[in-house]
Amino acid sequence: MSIKLNVNGKGKVLDKKKDIKTYLEEMGIDPSTVSIKLNDKTIKTDKLESTLLNDSDNLEFIFFMGGGNLI
């Protein structure tokens, strides 16, 4: 059974249900470099493995970036 998601505004299809941590690993994303919102709720890092993605979920990745100058 495939799962359809909206990830950062783009449609994605998963071959089966999986947790967020597994999805991140498959995408090559280090969980320590990203904040995650699932259906407008922030998911804490310690909950990534126990939070399953479901059909029609809205998943947002917010990446940490450095740089810039303060005046």
Alpha carbon distance 57, 6 (integer Å): 6
Is position 52 within any domain?
Answer: yes
Give pLDDT tens digits for 9-54: 999 999 999 999 999 999 999 888 899 999 999 999 999 999 999 9
12 located within any domain: yes
> What are the E-state strand segments in 1-71?
3-7, 10-14, 34-38, 41-43, 58-63
Structural domain total, the chain: 1
At 56 the pLDDT is 96
* 71 in a structural domain: no
pLDDT tens readout for residues 43-56: 999 999 999 999 99
Q: What is the pLDDT of residue 36?
A: 96
Q: What is the CATH number of the domain that holds 47?
A: 3.10.20.30
